[in-house]
Amino acid sequence: MKLIWFNSIDSTQDYIKSHIKELMDDTCVLANVQTKGRGRYGHVWFSSLEEGLYFSILKKNLHIEPFSLVVGVSLFKTIKTLYGIRAFIKWPNDIYVLLEKPRKVAGILVEKIKENTIIGIGVNLNQEDFPQDISDRAISLKLFTGIYISKQHFLTTFFDFFYQDIDYFNSHGFEDFRNIINDNLLYKNKLITANDGKVSGILKEVDKDGSIVIEKDNRLISLNAGEIESMMPKETW
Ligand code: BTN
């Protein structure tokens, strides 16, 4: 694996996109700070603090479906192993912890350009505070656990799981990943809404193809992409 480490860049994801032809398979681009970090659905990914971990990986000719869920499991395992905490996977691939309510500690953005897959990962690693508009939804692993972990240590642990999981998927398929996701699924058996209120119901599980199954009026609805939110903000967790 080749690592390119910037102090500051617009977005590690966009760096890979604009240099895709000259970059080798398994290149990882990391930045201490991003000026235009972005998340799924055009959301801004807050990246101005050096204590956060922001990196993207280029994989060429990867044939894994549903890949973003598999990477989510690798990230989940990294966090569980390094911190020994109860963490949750928010479908499709964010990692959350519970402190009074669910708070996001890591997010994944997977983009495909022809035969190339770019996997962008943002982890709230050692930040001590967040901007006010996200401070009730985000938390860093350091704030949650009191444990400081270096970016290098986090990355090496993540890459061990990442490559192990790709190999494991290639020989065993999705089923064991699906079990890990279902055992640690945020909002499982709770009332959720998906895709800006277009769908709502009880979140049952992640299916064999990575879709979520939502129960509504004794009917099962399957959703293979989108964003989900809890409909019970005052819920006790
Ligand atoms: C999300 O939760 O919506 C995904 C967040 C992904 C953020 C990472 S940070 C490194 C890479 N560069 C970006 O601009 N985005 C991803």
Rounded to 5 degrees, φ, ψ at 34 are -120, 140
pLDDT at 74 over 70: yes
Q: Count other Cβ atoms within 10 Å, centred on residue 154.
A: 20
Q: Is any ligand 1 atom within 6 A of the Cβ of residue 104?
A: no
Higher pLDDT, 232 or 40: 40
pLDDT digits (tens, 9 = 90+) for 90-130: 999 999 999 989 999 999 999 999 999 999 999 999 999 99
Predicted confidence (pLDDT) at residue 237 exceeds the cutoff of 90? no
Lowest mean pLDDT among 71-80, 141-150, 191-200, 208-217: 191-200
Cβ of 40 closer than 6 Å to ligand 1, yes or no, is yes
pLDDT at 236: 56
* Over residues 212-218, mean pLDDT: 96
State the pLDDT at residue 198: 87
Q: Of all protein residues, whose CA lies closest to atom 14 belonging to ligand 1?
A: 37
Instruction: Kindly state if the Cβ of 96 falls inside 6 Å of ligand 1.
Output: no
Any ligand 1 atom below 6 A from CB of 43: yes
Helix (H, G, I), strand (E, B) or coil at 170: helix
Q: What is the pTM of this model?
A: 0.96
**Is the distance from the beta carbon of residue 13 to the nearest atom of ligand 1 less than 6 Å?**
yes
Nearest alpha carbon to residue 165 among 87, 64, 15: 64
Sign (positive or negative) of CA dihedral 11, 16, 22, 23: positive
Ligand 1 pocket test, pick from 32, 33, 47, 109 with the greatest ligand atom count within 8 Å of Cβ, gives 109
Give the pLDDT confidence of 154-202 residue by residue, as tens digits: 999 999 999 999 999 999 999 999 999 999 999 999 999 998 888 999 9
Contacts of 133 (CB under 8 A, 6+ apart): none
Give me the percent of the chain exceeding a pLDDT of 90. 92
Helices in the chain by DSSP H: which ranges? 12-18, 67-83, 141-145, 151-172, 175-183
